[in-house]
Structure 1
């Protein structure tokens, strides 16, 4: 192993922040992407090597990854970029991680498990806020309640989304939410599943969302029923549900394209000051067949800063890795307590609520 690693999509919002943090802590990635002007400017500033290549040509990817041990993909949409990069990673024996939260990406990665085993590479999407803290909490709940039959997860933060996050949300508009029931993924209309959740202070109304944990938490825990929630007032849920029902109209009339173009041109990620003021509160609830409940909570840095730290943690882990290849969730790869190793993360706390059963 040469300990050489790469950030693909380094000129994007999160990719750039990861590169800057890497420089501060003495890590030396190779920066990569499609935008030569932006990459050259960033590489000069940080004194890093950079490479320009697109994902349209597998031979370009192959030439660029020949000497790379680990690639951190920060370029979405990940359901496209992940498959293109991983296929080449199997040839170059390059471990793959990314910062996606897209459920489809985890399914694609899982489907390639045996090929990854044969190639001897680790493929572990979702090493950012999506889904490290929730995956660790899910694994920890399962360890403490091995007979759990249902799992609810959620998170609360006041952080505004980045351009990439908004584009993914708009792309998913009209698909409803995603849950797991009896081991199978199901689409349900947005707003249909709501409940009160106490993320750490007081109960608040929350709604289910199509978060990647409905896929990853199942791989990590084997719990057959999984739902992910975020807090949202009833009025906003009704508006979002209205948009969902009119997605086809928005697309046909060109309004959705106008919104997408506006986001691409005008939306920027949160500032350093905004990131510093907005921690995240992660919540989980496991339940067994007798109705006993185990609640877990975790407080982290804001989602973007945690993503920077957890992505670099995964890279460092793989640069020293000597284990088997395959698909892994973050908790499977680095352990259920790995999130607690990150700066600003408070230890997980748990509370059990027992019933008399039925």
Structure 2
């Protein structure tokens, strides 16, 4: 039995390239068998509703890396199975409901020594490290405004996940998720030569994870899409994701402004690789570290487990302070 099970193509390819011992998992025998043969790794095909089969596979597994969205269909079942089998759970979800689910299972996971780490890649790792970098420079941080500059096309999984987000536009006020008017835009300079651009409020799971990592109770999350429009039509017909060439041509940027309780503010900008590349690089790095016993029981964030310097593991990534 492999110590690591991965649901996800790009993460699996990267895990193979760095020599991790892992197995593939998924629903489609035809697709999975050919892919596993190419990577020369074992694979498991099953339906998540097959509890006995799922538990028998996870019984001798240390870590599950779930890259199979939309997570409204996969995260809850896999978290429950991981708690039953004492297997650490990782995913790359951008759906806030996944994190609320992990919050609910926090005490159950702690009792059996299991870590629940949704968002080990993607915006949660990216923005969480950036926010921690700035918050650590302020004695009494009170408020965070953070924005992600998204570039390039959306994959099928990302589009379906986005379409399943029914929570409206939210912000964190005094530790509570409350509605935010979608028209309450903000201007951010992403240090990319375009000056201030209008960014729109969005509901990102970072509302919960940045607060959990830092203790800051007032957070707003924004997004600016330079070349992205939400796809229409049958989302199942979209590609698995942008090509390597497309990812290379569309790096991501992020900016954070942290305010102290006396009105002082500090700003920093993150420049990094395309979000799809960042996600598989960061999530596999997280899985590698968990295999080396870098874990904490219960619901966690990348910053709490690995520290903000995990960004150093991602190529072409830098933070600039302003």
RMSD: 2.1
8 Å contact from structure 1 (residues 100, 130) kept in 2: no
User: Which residue of structure 2 lines up, in the alignment, with residue 113 of structure 1?
Assistant: 106
| Structure 1 length-normalised TM | 0.84
Q: Indicate which of 219, 224, 243 corresponds to 1:226.
A: 219
Structure-2 separation of matches of 1:98 and 1:74: 6
Change (3 A) 1:82 1:274: same
Q: Secondary structure at the match of 2:153?
A: coil
| Structure 2 length-normalised TM | 0.93
Deviation at 1:232?
5.3
8 Å contact from structure 1 (residues 124, 327) kept in 2: yes
Q: Could you tell which deviates more after superposition, 316-325 or 112-121?
A: 316-325
Structure-1 separation of matches of 2:13 and 2:21: 10
Q: Normalized per residue, which structure has more helix?
A: 1
User: Which residue of structure 2 lines up, in the alignment, with residue 177 of structure 1?
Assistant: 169
Structure 2: tracts of 5 or more residues without a match: none
Structure-2 separation of matches of 1:133 and 1:194: 22
User: Which residue of structure 2 lines up, in the alignment, with residue 7 of structure 1?
Assistant: 6
Q: Could you tell which deviates more after superposition, 293-302 or 80-89?
A: 80-89
Q: Indicate which of 184, 189, 199 corresponds to 2:190.
A: 199
Aligned pair count? 319
8 Å contact from structure 2 (residues 142, 259) kept in 1: yes
User: Which residue of structure 1 lines up, in the alignment, with residue 79 of structure 2?
Assistant: 86
Structure 1: tracts of 5 or more residues without a match: 9-14, 241-255, 352-358
8 Å contact from structure 1 (residues 207, 231) kept in 2: yes
Matched, 1:284 2:256: yes
Matched, 1:125 2:96: no
Matched, 1:37 2:33: no
Larger Rg: 1
User: Which residue of structure 2 lines up, in the alignment, with residue 247 of structure 1?
Assistant: none
Structure-2 separation of matches of 1:62 and 1:3: 14
8 Å contact from structure 1 (residues 79, 105) kept in 2: yes
Deviation at 1:79?
3.1
Change (3 A) 1:297 1:224: same
Deviation at 1:188?
2.8
Deviation at 1:101?
1.1
Structure-2 separation of matches of 1:300 and 1:70: 27
